[in-house]
């Protein structure tokens, strides 16, 4: 059977393995729902970024929002990565995992004063500023602390990334970034403000992008701006070209990271900007196909119009199908012979939107363990406690080694911070 995603996921005999470990055995030992990640798959996904950028000043900043488990962050920190954060909480995670704050860039449209203070005191590398209003507040906070905030402006190039509307970020109708036509004036304002030092320019056009052309279109617009900004007397040290490279969930064929970067470098060099430091912010492409969600089949419910395979994982464990109608492959961790009826794979949450996959041909029996593939990105980070359901445990595997990197939540954990009214 051909499986989308990681080469580290394969059947050995009748049992599905991630690296050297049987997924069914992990489910039996640790229970379900259960997230399992491959450390080797993450490092293999990082390698083409690092190889393509070798010999150039660069920093690969892993996008923490994709998967913020401490062991995941530790893996990338030890591999030399920086981090792209969007909250003070994510900074705290990076530091707890051993990350270097001097390799952190702080993105996001709604940075609070408290977060700005926290990040400045930690000594992060750069703020990716997304509005003139944010710039003014950051100047006040930095000046009040007697510090200087290194900034790049996130520019919205109005380029269609060709992805789902919810994860497109570079169009005029999106909330992100400074409009392209306002960027020069905003850079001039930034250069005049106390507590602010302009260091770069940032652009991020979306997520799950499967073609090179949107990146090249955005790059050309960014380089046009760089030339205009420097002509106005504001030097630009680095180009932050964001992330967003897609992965294979089913039949997508995104370019390899080395192919993408090679074409971007060729365009950068051709336009005379090869001396600048380059930053990238990959997330999904590093962890998406490194993880699976394991779930046990509880009931089979044949119907006149639909057959339902009821599992113990739900939309609170994996929100992407309900949120985006995202398609993620679902396979049995044990090969079964015979008929494979078509099922809707659904969870126990009291919502009709609680489904993990529709119209899936599966040879399955109650008690089987299914694996939802390509679940390493935007799985656990988007999980909730809806219906008072504890979040799943998380494991990391490396060869035949297995670590519990997050324990399963108990019910008491869910209301530990709540209080009854006094009587």
CA neighbor of 34 nearest in space, from 309, 345, 370:
370
DSSP designation for 306: -
Distance between CA atoms of 27 and 244, rounded to whole angstroms?
Answer: 31
Class of the 107-282 domain? alpha beta
Which pLDDT value is given to residue 414?
96
Residues β-bridged to residue 201: 153, 239
Contact 286, 68 (CB under 8 A): no
Catalytic residue numbers read: 350
Distance between CA atoms of 205 and 163, rounded to whole angstroms?
Answer: 10
Which pLDDT value is given to residue 413?
94
- Render each residue's pLDDT in the chain as its tens digit; 423 residues: 567 767 899 999 999 999 999 999 999 999 999 999 999 999 999 999 999 999 999 999 999 999 999 999 999 999 999 999 999 999 999 999 999 999 999 999 999 999 999 999 999 999 999 999 999 999 999 999 999 999 999 998 877 555 444 344 444 555 567 888 899 999 999 999 999 999 999 998 888 899 999 899 999 999 999 999 999 999 999 999 999 999 999 888 999 999 999 999 999 999 999 999 999 999 999 999 999 999 999 999 998 899 999 999 999 999 999 998 999 999 999 999 888 999 999 999 999 899 999 999 999 999 999 999 999 999 999 999 999 999 999 999 999 999 999 999 999 999 999 999 998
What are the tens digits of pLDDT across the range 47-84? 999 999 999 999 999 999 999 999 999 999 999 999 99
Cβ atoms within 10 A of the Cβ of 135, count? 22
Distance between CA atoms of 409 and 390, rounded to whole angstroms?
Answer: 5
* CATH of segment(s) 9-38+288-414: 2.40.37.10
Cis amide linkage into residue 20, ω under 30° from 0? no
Q: How many Å from the N-terminal Cα to the C-terminal Cα in the chain?
A: 62
DSSP for 171-200 reads STTSS-SEEGGGHHHHHHHHHHSTTEEEEE
Return the percentage of the chain with pLDDT > 70, whole number. Answer: 95
Taking each helix axis as running N to C, give the angle between helix 113-122 and helix 132-145, from 0 to 180 degrees, rounded to the nearest 10: 50
Q: Are strands 330-332 and 277-280 parallel, antiparallel or unpaired?
A: unpaired
- Count Cα neighbours of 256 within 13 Å in the Cβ-side half-sphere: 12
**Domain ranges across the chain:** 9-38+288-414, 107-282
Q: What 3-state DSSP class applies to 266?
A: helix
What are the tens digits of pLDDT across the range 355-412? 999 999 999 999 999 999 999 999 999 999 999 999 999 999 999 999 999 999 999 9
Q: Which residues are annotated as a binding site?
A: 244, 281-284, 320, 324, 351, 378
CA neighbor of 284 nearest in space, from 312, 322, 252:
252
**Nearest 10 degrees: Cα torsion 294, 341, 288, 11:** 70
H/E stretch holding 145 reads helix 132-145
Q: Which residues are annotated as a binding site for substrate?
A: 284, 320, 324, 351, 378
Which pLDDT value is given to residue 171?
44
Give Cβ neighbours of residue 228 (< 8 Å, ≥ 6 apart).
184
Give Cβ neighbours of residue 420 (< 8 Å, ≥ 6 apart).
none
Q: Is 401 exposed, middle or buried (0-12, 13-18, 19+ CB in 10 A)?
A: exposed
CA neighbor of 282 nearest in space, from 24, 46, 18, 2:
46
Cβ atoms within 10 A of the Cβ of 287, count? 31
């Amino acid at each position: 059977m051909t499986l989308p995603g990681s080469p580290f996921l394969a059947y050995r005999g009748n049992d599905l393995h991630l690296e050297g470990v049987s997924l069914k055995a992990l489910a039996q030992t640790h229970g379900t729902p259960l997230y399992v990640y491959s450390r080797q798959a993450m490092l293999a996904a990082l390698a083409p970024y690092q190889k393509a950028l070798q010999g150039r000043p660069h920093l690969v900043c892993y996008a923490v929002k994709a998967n913020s488990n401490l062991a995941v962050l530790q893996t990338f920190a030890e591999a030399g990565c920086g981090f792209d954060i969007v909250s003070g909480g994510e900074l705290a995670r990076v530091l707890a995992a051993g990350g270097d704050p001097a390799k952190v860039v702080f993105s996001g449209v709604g940075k609070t004063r408290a977060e700005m203070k926290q990040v400045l005191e930690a000594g992060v590398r750069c703020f990716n500023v997304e509005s003139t209003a944010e710039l003014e507040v950051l100047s006040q906070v930095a000046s009040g602390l007697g510090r200087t905030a290194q900034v790049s402006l996130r520019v919205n190039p109005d380029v269609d990334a060709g992805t789902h509307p919810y994860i497109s970020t570079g169009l005029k109708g999106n909330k992100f970034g400074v409009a392209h036509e306002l960027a020069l004036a905003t850079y001039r304002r930034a250069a005049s403000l106390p507590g602010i030092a302009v260091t770069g320019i940032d652009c991020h056009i979306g997520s799950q992008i499967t073609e090179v052309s949107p990146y090249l279109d955005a790059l050309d617009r960014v380089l046009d701006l760089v030339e205009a900004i420097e002509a106005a007397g504001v030097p630009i040290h680095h180009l932050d070209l964001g992330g967003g490279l897609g992965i294979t969930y089913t039949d997508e064929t995104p370019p390899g990271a080395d192919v993408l970067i090679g074409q971007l470098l060729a365009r950068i060099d051709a336009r005379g900007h090869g001396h600048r430091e380059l930053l990238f912010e990959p997330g999904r492409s590093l962890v998406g196909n490194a993880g699976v969600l394991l779930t046990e089949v509880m009931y089979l419910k044949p119907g006149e119009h639909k057959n339902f395979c009821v599992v113990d994982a739900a939309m609170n464990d994996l929100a992407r199908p309900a949120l985006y109608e995202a398609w993620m492959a679902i396979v049995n961790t044990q090969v079964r012979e015979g008929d494979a009826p078509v099922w809707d794979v659904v969870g126990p949450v009291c919502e009709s939107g609680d489904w993990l996959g529709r119209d899936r041909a599966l040879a399955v029996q109650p008690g089987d363990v299914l694996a939802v593939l390509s679940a390493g990105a935007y799985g656990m980070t988007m999980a909730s406690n809806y219906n008072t359901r504890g979040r799943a445990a998380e494991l990391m595997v490396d060869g035949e080694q297995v670590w519990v990197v997050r324990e399963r939540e108990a019910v008491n954990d869910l209301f530990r911070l709540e209080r009854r009214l006094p009587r």
